[in-house]
Chain A
């Protein structure tokens, strides 16, 4: 075991897969000579050469399209969006071509799109979004969103080996702030399995990505028996884990940094309402960003993104209910 940052764990997983399997290659803007905007692929071009670490033009449609072609031909491309926000330029290729290829023609498209997402550093509306819910409306895509270093590596490896197109949501705020023990060598985390990050009896916080850490810290500081379920995979959702936690505590707060409407939290709340109604002791609540773009101004951004105090307040309210 080595203690790595979340970012190092992603690098580690990608490097190991590229070493293990020659069909794995990566492509994106400034990922080669520059080592990537966030340095995830620092040193990759030296080790694997420009054939497997492709610097591309600023054209996300071309990146995704090229990856689809390569995947169909038997390679395993890993695309980097410099910022998750930019995926909108490659959206048609992703949701209409990659996602539906298997349904239309029975052809697997084993590719990964890495999406550095999330705010908290005054990146403003084009560099801070959490667009995961966009992909939940495109059946055929899988979506993962690790919260820990170990899961970042394990889920990236699983995503690369998965025969479907997988959106890999990596939260920029976690890159250097979250570190943890990461198994060296082969390490996979199954797609579709949530993880109980903290056991509790009184209420559940169901979260993913950066909100998992907020929830854990809030639970610790409140000193209450709060269960924290880290979804890890957003599509397909681990319904059993969601329902089992909801049935156990009867009170659920769903938390994410993404905006509120029609997002993961809404879906989780709906699943609970449909299947665990008789076990509920309180309304299912959500803690999310409001339905607004992320402001540049640091104080405004703080007001928009859920903060630790918001998490604690939401937990207190539900505990008292």
Chain B
């Protein structure tokens, strides 16, 4: 072996046996027509690992969906070409698999001791790892992790005194006691340039570097490092990006109508049993979706997209249904929703929702929507102002159905008070593409349809 440390993947000797290697590339696949690139979220295999054909080798996220990439062949992972976190175009080689390798052959990493000793040792003069000891400076016990998280301590900065340089509980406690959590040289990340906390912290830190002028010893504000930090999931990042982008792009307005759902409730009660027998769960959402699709056909200005200085009016209604997930949400699309009956709509909504929650949507399932309905009312909220799903021009929000006293026409045409299942339909729309009257007319059409349902 040469004297310089070799890269992950092992030295030349380890590969001698596979001189006749047959390398198969793992490619970033084409995931639906609209996806041009993908980001590796996680490698399930390391170089040297054995992988079966079709076994998941890595996870990829796109701006639409997460997918697992299957190995194209059985073999040993020779090289990983794209690291986790990187985004590459469809067709890019992600890794190479040596399909000529046999299972059970020595793993490059299994020449353990040799490689470990060659691993660069910590340079610092006070490194505690003794000769021959396994380096444990990167291992953190549960209690050390917990204390570090509670105090916002960067464990890399804590000197370990345990075996192999391990950071012990008392090391991290001593570090905190010494004020290490706020040590100079590791400033807290700036949350906001104008944050008063940031300035105050700097002021507090200053005296440590240089003697402070008298009178500057005002009571220190509480450290801003409290709480727990975790990175946003790729989905969370996508949502964040899309929502801010939409707010920046569209001229959002929200129009609200109140709808009496008595007729819908009656019809739902009638149909619920027979539909359930056919495996279809009939929800208020299905009625609203059908009414909205019918209204969209008569009000094409709402079934549209903005593309630069043009407005594209769509022939089909591809209806997006927002589905809440554990941490996030996804909007699968029901294509050509204008073809669906009430029962078909209910079944289609159940289908996409179920597949969304099972993370089994195909990339094309979340692409090409022309109008979106969101329905968080199950949690009891009655009003909301949703953000438009770009490049669409409107999003309809169905909130909770609540019994309220309302004024209705009595038998003789006189005013009477009745208890009715009521809901608000809140629609955010893009003032670039349409005006308030369009929105009101469209909502009025939905309201009339729902209130006269037979």
Decide if A281 touches B163 in the complex (CB within 8 Å).
no
Alpha-carbon distance between A282 and B139 when the two chains are bound, in angstroms:
11
Please judge, given known A-B contacts A250-B169, A321-B168, whether A280 and B163 are in contact too, CB under 8 Å: no
Give a binary string over B136-172; 1 marks a CB under 8 Å from any A CB, 0 the rest.
Answer: 0000011111100000000000000011001011100
CB neighbours of B141 from chain A (8 A): 250, 280-282
CB distance from B53 to the nearest CB of A (A): 38
Q: Which residue of A lies closest to B169 (CB)?
A: A281
Flag whether A279 is at the interface (Cβ < 8 A): yes
CB neighbours of B143 from chain A (8 A): 250, 278-281
CB neighbours of A282 from chain B (8 A): 141
CB neighbours of A321 from chain B (8 A): 162-163, 166, 168
Chain B interface, number of residues (Cβ within 8 angstroms): 12
CB neighbours of A2 from chain B (8 A): none
Give a binary string over A289-321; 1 marks a CB under 8 Å from any B CB, 0 the rest.
Answer: 000000000000000000000000000000011
CB neighbours of A38 from chain B (8 A): none
Alpha-carbon distance between A280 and B144 when the two chains are bound, in angstroms:
8
Interface residues of A in 245-289 (CB under 8 A from B): 250, 277-282
Q: Which of A202, A281, A282, A321 has the most CB of B within 10 A?
A: A281
Decide if B168 touches A281 in the complex (CB within 8 Å).
yes
CB neighbours of B142 from chain A (8 A): 277-281
CB neighbours of A250 from chain B (8 A): 141, 143, 169
Alpha-carbon distance between A114 and B114 when the two chains are bound, in angstroms:
57
Q: Which residue of A lies closest to B141 (CB)?
A: A281
Q: Which residue of B lies closest to A247 (CB)?
A: B143
Chain A interface, number of residues (Cβ within 8 angstroms): 10
CB neighbours of B144 from chain A (8 A): 281
CB distance from A226 to the nearest CB of B (A): 14
CB distance from B39 to the nearest CB of A (A): 32
CB distance from B253 to the nearest CB of A (A): 49
CB neighbours of B166 from chain A (8 A): 321
CB neighbours of A202 from chain B (8 A): 170
Alpha-carbon distance between A280 and B163 when the two chains are bound, in angstroms:
16
Give a binary string over B160-190; 1 marks a CB under 8 Å from any A CB, 0 the rest.
Answer: 0011001011100000000000000000000
Interface residues of A in 136-167 (CB under 8 A from B): none
Alpha-carbon distance between A279 and B143 when the two chains are bound, in angstroms:
4
Interface residues of B in 286-317 (CB under 8 A from A): none
> Which among B146, B162, B169 is the interface contact of A320 at CB below 8 angstroms?
B162
CB distance from B86 to the nearest CB of A (A): 33
CB neighbours of A320 from chain B (8 A): 162-163
Interface residues of B in 124-145 (CB under 8 A from A): 141-145
Alpha-carbon distance between A281 and B166 when the two chains are bound, in angstroms:
10
Q: Which residue of A lies closest to B166 (CB)?
A: A321
CB neighbours of A281 from chain B (8 A): 141-144, 168-169
CB neighbours of B146 from chain A (8 A): 278-279
Q: Which residue of A lies closest to B149 (CB)?
A: A278
Alpha-carbon distance between A282 and B169 when the two chains are bound, in angstroms:
9
CB distance from A246 to the nearest CB of B (A): 10
Alpha-carbon distance between A217 and B4 when the two chains are bound, in angstroms:
51
Alpha-carbon distance between A282 and B141 when the two chains are bound, in angstroms:
7
CB distance from B174 to the nearest CB of A (A): 13
CB distance from A12 to the nearest CB of B (A): 44
CB neighbours of B145 from chain A (8 A): 278
CB distance from A245 to the nearest CB of B (A): 14
CB distance from B147 to the nearest CB of A (A): 9
Alpha-carbon distance between A94 and B170 when the two chains are bound, in angstroms:
48
Q: Which residue of B lies closest to A282 (CB)?
A: B141
Q: Which residue of A lies closest to B145 (CB)?
A: A278
CB neighbours of B170 from chain A (8 A): 202
Give a binary string over B370-405; 1 marks a CB under 8 Å from any A CB, 0 the rest.
Answer: 000000000000000000000000000000000000
Q: Which of B143, B145, B168 has the most CB of A within 10 A?
A: B143
Alpha-carbon distance between A74 and B408 when the two chains are bound, in angstroms:
80
CB distance from A266 to the nearest CB of B (A): 20
Q: Which residue of A lies closest to B172 (CB)?
A: A281
Q: Which residue of A lies closest to B161 (CB)?
A: A320
CB distance from A225 to the nearest CB of B (A): 11
Alpha-carbon distance between A174 and B207 when the two chains are bound, in angstroms:
63
Alpha-carbon distance between A281 and B144 when the two chains are bound, in angstroms:
7
CB distance from A23 to the nearest CB of B (A): 51
Alpha-carbon distance between A320 and B164 when the two chains are bound, in angstroms:
10
Alpha-carbon distance between A63 and B170 when the two chains are bound, in angstroms:
54
CB distance from B228 to the nearest CB of A (A): 13
CB neighbours of A278 from chain B (8 A): 142-143, 145-146
**Cβ contacts A to B, 15 pairs, < 8 Å:** A250-B143, A250-B169, A277-B142, A278-B142, A278-B145, A278-B146, A279-B142, A279-B143, A280-B141, A281-B141, A281-B142, A281-B144, A282-B141, A321-B162, A321-B163
Query: Which positions in B face A, CB cutoff 8 Å?
Result: 141-146, 162-163, 166, 168-170
Query: Which positions in A face B, CB cutoff 8 Å?
Result: 202, 250, 277-282, 320-321
| Given A280-B143, A281-B168, 19 more pairs with CB closer than 8 A | A202-B170, A250-B143, A250-B169, A277-B142, A278-B142, A278-B143, A278-B145, A279-B143, A279-B146, A280-B141, A280-B142, A281-B141, A281-B142, A281-B144, A281-B169, A320-B162, A320-B163, A321-B162, A321-B166
The 4 closest A-B pairs by CB, nearest first: A281-B169, A281-B141, A281-B143, A278-B142
